[in-house]
Chain A
Amino acid sequence: MSELTKEEEILKEIKDKFSDAVENSIIQRKSRIWIDLSENAKLDIMRYLKEKGYYHLSTITGFDEGEKLGAIYHITNHKIIINLRVRTPKENPILKSVLPVYPSATSYERELEDLFGIKIDGLPEGRNYPLPEGFPKGVHPLRKDVKLEELNKMLNEKCVKEE
Chain B
Amino acid sequence: MSKMQIPLGPQHPALKEPENFMLVLDGEMIVDATVNLGYNHRGVEKAAENRNYIQDIYLIERICGICSHSHVSCYINAVEEIAKVEVPQRAKAIRTIVAELERIHSHLLWLGVAAFELGYDTLFMYTWRDREQVLDCLELLTGNRVHYGINTIGGVRRDITKEQADEILKKIKYLHERTSYYVGVVTEEPTFLARTQNVGKLPKDVALELNAVGPTARASGIEIDVRKDEPYFIYDQLDFKVITYHSEDVFGRAVVRVLEVIESIKIIEQILKNLPEGPISVKVGWKIGPGEAVFRYEAPRGEDIHYVKANGTEYPERVKVRAPTLANFQSLPYCLKNGYLADAVITIAAIDPCMSCTDRAVVYDIKKGKKEIFDWEELRKYSIEFYRKKGVKFS
Contacts and interface: CB of A to CB of B under 8 A. Distances in A.
Direct contact of A and B (CB under 8 A): yes
Interface of A: 28-29, 31-32, 34, 55-59, 61-63, 72, 74, 76, 78-79, 81, 83, 102-104, 106-108, 115, 125, 127-134, 141-142, 148, 151
A74 B18 contact: no
Contacts of B226: 78
A104 B330 contact: yes
B322 interface: yes
Nearest to A85: B292
B38 A131 contact: yes
B364 to A, nearest CB: 16
A116 B322 CA distance: 16
A81 B296 contact: yes
11 contacts: A32-B294, A55-B211, A61-B307, A104-B210, A107-B329, A107-B330, A108-B322, A127-B18, A129-B37, A130-B38, A141-B43
A58 B324 CA distance: 9
Contact of B16 (A31, A62, A134): A134
Looking at A61, A103, A107, A115, the one whose CB has the most chain B CB atoms below 10 A away is A61
B388 to A, nearest CB: 35
Contact of B229 (A79, A115, A151): A79
B18 A79 contact: no
B327 interface: yes
B309 interface: yes
B391 to A, nearest CB: 39
Interface in B193-235: 208-211, 224, 226, 229-230
Nearest to B331: A104
Contacts of B46: 141-142, 148, 151
Interface in B311-338: 318, 320, 322, 326-327, 329-330
A74 B37 contact: no
B294 A74 contact: yes
B305 A79 contact: no
B51 to A, nearest CB: 10
B36 interface: yes
A151 B46 CA distance: 11
B144 to A, nearest CB: 28
Nearest to A107: B326
Contact of B37 (A57, A107, A142, A151): A107
A135 to B, nearest CB: 9
A102 B18 CA distance: 26
Looking at B37, B208, B294, B307, the one whose CB has the most chain A CB atoms below 10 A away is B294
Interface string B35-51: 01110010101110110
A74 B308 CA distance: 13
The size bracket of the interface on B is: 35 or more
Given A81-B294, A141-B46, A148-B50, A74 B305 contact: yes
Given A59-B327, A107-B330, A148-B50, 11 more contacts: A29-B81, A58-B322, A58-B327, A63-B309, A63-B318, A74-B305, A79-B229, A104-B327, A130-B37, A132-B18, A132-B38
A79 B230 contact: yes
Contacts of A108: 322
Contacts of B305: 58-59, 74
A61 B226 CA distance: 20
Contacts of A127: 18, 36, 38
Given A59-B320, A74-B307, A78-B229, A103 B210 contact: yes
A128 B17 CA distance: 12
Contacts of A151: 46
B274 to A, nearest CB: 26
Contacts of B309: 63
B303 interface: yes
A72 B317 CA distance: 15
B209 A133 contact: no
Nearest to B41: A130
Contacts of B327: 58-59, 104
A15 to B, nearest CB: 21
Contact of A58 (B38, B210, B296, B329): B296
